[in-house]
A = this chain, B = another copy of it.
Amino acid sequence: MEKIRLALVEDDPEVRALLHAYLCQQPELDCVIVAGSAEDFLQQLTEVRVGPQVVLLDVQLPGLSGIEALPLIRQRLPEADVLMQTVFDDADTIFQALRQGATGYVLKSAALTEYKAAVLDVARGGAPMSPAVARKVLAHFKPLPQTQPGLLTEREQAVVQGIVDGLGDKQVAHRLGLSAETVRTYVKRVYKKLQVSSRTELVSRVVRGN
């Protein structure tokens, strides 16, 4: 079994030293790069002959943030997997990172053994992430079977159309010759059916391909 070539990008010197000491002593791992910033990492990348297979990248970094650096790194290392690490269990940030091509993430509160597990997981083809993020991810690409089938009734679709056109409840009501209160009822029903909780969500879901 070959060692997994690992890169560490972490600005906090203490954390960096700790991770470095622990991870690099693991028999399965081989730290090829240890950097304090994204810029530093990209620089060092040009100096090594063989790049890392896994990059452990902090989200909060001075200069280029982890998320900003992600596309650059992936451009340089298309074959590598990037594992984000963050202090906050912030689903939205992580989600953005995943969209940029991260393969998973670890919370900084994680134990060292968890770090190791995550790295190995990624290297084995996994994608470590927290429950909340996983759910978010599913919801995204699982674009609910609506619009086409009779999920929404005619009236409901008409209301949705109005909303997508940028109208308010009153305007929709006027367009359809209904009471504004009735429109509100429809909107609420549609929200439930499509599992959204705001107009903006509704519109973006409908206007993108569901």
Taking a contact as CB atoms under 8 Å apart, the answer to whether A200 and B163 are in contact is yes
| Copies of this chain per assembly | 2
Which residue of the partner chain, among B78, B98, B166, contacts A138 with CB atoms under 8 Å? B98
Residues of chain B within 8 A (CB-CB) of A203 are: 200, 203-204, 207
Does A12 sit at the interface, judged by CB under 8 A? no
Residues of chain B within 8 A (CB-CB) of A101 are: 141-145
A204 and B131 in contact (CB under 8 A), knowing A99-B142, A145-B101?
A: no
| A59-108 interface with B by 8 A CB criterion | 71, 75, 78-79, 90, 92-93, 96, 98-101, 103-104
Does A198 sit at the interface, judged by CB under 8 A? yes
A: interface residue count bin: 35 or more
| A168-210 interface with B by 8 A CB criterion | 168, 171, 174-175, 192-193, 195-196, 198-201, 203-205, 207-208
What residue of chain B has the Cβ atom nearest to residue A79's Cβ?
A: B192
Given contacts A71-B143, A141-B141, A204-B207, 14 further A-B contacts (CB under 8 A): A75-B151, A78-B193, A92-B174, A101-B142, A101-B144, A101-B145, A121-B131, A127-B138, A129-B134, A137-B141, A140-B141, A166-B204, A166-B205, A167-B200
Q: List 14 A-B contacts (CB under 8 A).
A: A75-B151, A90-B174, A99-B142, A99-B144, A101-B144, A101-B145, A103-B135, A104-B134, A126-B132, A137-B141, A200-B200, A203-B203, A203-B204, A207-B208
